[in-house]
Amino acid sequence: MTLATRSGPQSVKLRNARSTQVPTNGPVVPWVLLAPAILFLAVFTVWPSLNTIRVAFTDTTPLGGGDYIGFDNFAAMAQDPQVVNALLNSVVFMIVCLPLLIILPLLIAMLVLKALPGIAFFRIAYYTPVIASAVVVGLVWQWMLNDRGLINNLALQLGVLQTPMPFLTERWLLIFSAIALTVWQGLGYYMIIYMAALGNVDRNLYEAAAVDGAGAIRRFISVTIPGVRRTMTLIGILVSVSALRVFSEIYVLSGGTGGPGGQAMTLVMLIQQYSRGFFGDLGYAATLSILLFLVTLVPLIVLARLNKGDD
64-119 pLDDT, tens per residue? 778 899 999 999 999 999 999 999 999 999 999 999 999 999 999 998 888 788 88
Q: Would you state the pLDDT for residue 162?
A: 87
Q: Closest Cα to residue 73, out of 281, 267, 268?
A: 281
> Cα separation of 88 and 244, whole Å?
10
**b/e code 271-305 from CB counts within 10 Å (16+ = b):** bbbbbeeeebbbbbbbbbbbbbeebbeebeeebee
Q: Give me the domains of the chain, ranges plus CATH numbers.
A: 83-139+165-275+289-308 (1.10.3720.10)
Residues above pLDDT 70, as percent of the chain: 91
Q: Closest Cα to residue 181, out of 116, 106, 226, 246?
A: 246
**Residue 90: in which H helix or E strand, if any?**
helix 81-112
Question: DSSP class of residue 67?
Answer: -
Residue 179's pLDDT band, with cuts at 50, 70 and 90, is: very high
Q: Would you state the pLDDT for residue 92?
A: 95
Long-range contacts of 18-24 (CB under 8 A, 24+ apart): none
Q: Would you state the pLDDT for residue 1?
A: 44
What's the mean pLDDT in 301-310? 75
Residue 3's pLDDT band, with cuts at 50, 70 and 90, is: very low
pLDDT of 298 > 80? The answer is: yes
Residue 265's pLDDT band, with cuts at 50, 70 and 90, is: very high
- Its pTM surpasses 0.85: no
pLDDT of 130 > 80? The answer is: yes
Choose the weakest-confidence range: 2-11, 89-98, 229-238, 244-253: 2-11
> Cα separation of 132 and 47, whole Å?
33
